[in-house]
A and B are shown apart, each in its own frame.
Chain A
């Protein structure tokens, strides 16, 4: 019924992110990797095929050289992106959903429910992730679903904690009390009234969780706990290390994959920096404020006098 969506703070926030430099640069980086992961494999060699002398350095036919199995590194890097990114973002999504569910319920209902749930959250938080993942992954049949399950199980608690504390803060606000007094159902209050207020947190949680999922996934596969017959960034590094890349000096077998991981994670981090800036406009105000000052005069607790300013 409302026709003035353009003035909604949600739309403004979204517009802010779409015009934020850091968020834009980060999105560009991440989206180009996603694009290459989708389209790239149609133009490269078969990543699994034996093509050339194993461990040959970069040439014109094999831009990034070949692996210890004589496969094309470029093809492996590109098709490895597919599964790694897919699992990374899916895990990120589920981690946020579960974190929002458990953290949200815990923060909203409070009392006994919160006592128990926050205890569970804290227990999972202090449990060291990698050894737990190793135990889980070693018992389960290897495969993408196992990987995702393990990552979600060990990764949800951090998000749940953050979402719980924001939920608690919002739960205490009067607009929630007002909705309760008017007879709204709890589920509707959570979804329609509170969740939109947490959009910024949910977005950055999703990105943070995806970064976690990509790096943890690569770590697990590097240990040999994934399905080593598939081509992913993690198994690329696993094989590079198995084929003694370090001892033979064949840096090209692990450098492209590692750089790709870093670029994607860095791009995601930049998006989060951007979200942070848009959510706290104070940061931008302060930047403009600093531009007016003579050099070296900042934050020593003395308000500057800028008479010539017009």
Chain B
């Protein structure tokens, strides 16, 4: 048991380092650019920004006359206390306030699509490997690879165009309609799910092939293992061998890959949000880019990084339960 805790703490330590690295990168990127970052900001917003907004901006980035190390510590202190600065696009709202609700929507939409797509993909991969050469195995991988070749947001555009504008089956934008009041009430939840169907399906369609292929490949390797032959020799039922022996082992490396890919898939999810004007992190990202809202961008980078690290930790916990070898 202590081994398990040890393992989780070790992983947590790694995430702390990763988070620190992201923070530090974020601090140094503006300062590594040619020229003075304050001057760059000033030049870009010449005349467009109120003096108090300009000051808030300087403060957010710690661009004071302090020495670099001093600036760095002020910056770290600000972040640790949850102070991500003041947004320019939504001046004078603090970045933290803007991000917090958006983060929930992203976790809802991207989280659900990730889990659905990973589960279906893993299941399909298991079946395809088990029935190698069957119709399922010979048609689905190239077909899904073809869908996987489209940019997320482009498929979202087409889906919106066909099912939203053309057929009118699904709402065109936002996470819920105007006729419902946000909160834990039934009409709101139904409406939120209704709004999520189209964006979630496009995300699932694009990412499904990757999960299926990687599960299929690890499963094929696993099927060559001695314990599979041994299980067959024991006369066990096929379904039991497929699930309890082959898939049960093949899913372990896939789970690790799942953790690693969360950050990557999330990028696609953010772009999909933009197409559907979904009020999540991705939509804010576009706003931030359009308005050159540096504090908001930085805040988004921080929160998304932390969300990905958190998700990875959950994956670690799952692996701990699935693989006795990590428990030792």
Contacts and interface: CB of A to CB of B under 8 A. Distances in A.
Whether the complex brings A and B within 8 Å at their CB atoms is answered yes
Contacts of B305: 126-128, 131
A59 B104 CA distance: 46
Contacts of B275: 241
A138 B297 contact: yes
Given A249-B165, A290-B133, A130 B154 contact: no
Nearest to A268: B149
Contact of B149 (A222, A223, A265): A265
A262 B149 contact: yes
Interface residues of B, number: 69
**Do most interface residues of chain A lie in helix, strand or loop, or is the interface mixed?**
helix
Given A126-B308, A261-B154, A298-B131, A138 B263 contact: no
Interface string B7-40: 0000000110110011001100110010001001
B285 A261 contact: no
Interface string A212-247: 000110110011110000000000010001000110
B192 interface: no
Interface residues of A, number: 54
Contacts of A128: 262-264, 266-267, 301, 304-305, 308
Interface stretch (A33-41, A178-186, A251-259): A251-259
Contacts of B146: 262, 266
B111 interface: no
A189 interface: no
Contacts of A127: 18, 21-22, 25, 263, 305, 308
Interface in A146-187: 158, 161
Contact of B301 (A132, A255, A262, A301): A132
Interface string B33-75: 1000100100000000000000000000000000000000000
B197 interface: no
A219 B29 CA distance: 21
Interface in A291-309: 298-302
Contacts of A254: 154, 157
B160 A135 contact: no
A136 interface: yes
A86 interface: no
Contacts of B298: 135
A139 B30 contact: yes
A57 interface: no
A119 interface: yes
Given A126-B260, A261-B154, A134 B289 contact: yes
Contacts of B262: 126, 128
Which of A126, A223, A249, A286 neighbours the largest number of chain B CB atoms within 10 Å of its CB?
Answer: A126
B153 A219 contact: yes
A44 interface: no
Contacts of B40: 139
B46 to A, nearest CB: 17
A135 B299 CA distance: 10
A267 to B, nearest CB: 8
Contacts of B94: none
A280 to B, nearest CB: 9
Contact of A216 (B22, B149, B267): B267
Contacts of B271: 130, 219, 222-223
A207 to B, nearest CB: 12
Nearest to B289: A223
B96 interface: no
B232 A301 contact: yes
Contact of A298 (B132, B165, B267): B132
A140 B268 CA distance: 22
A291 to B, nearest CB: 9
Given A128-B267, A131-B300, A273-B142, 7 more contacts: A123-B18, A130-B270, A131-B301, A223-B274, A254-B154, A266-B149, A298-B131
5 contacts: A132-B25, A134-B300, A246-B165, A249-B165, A261-B149
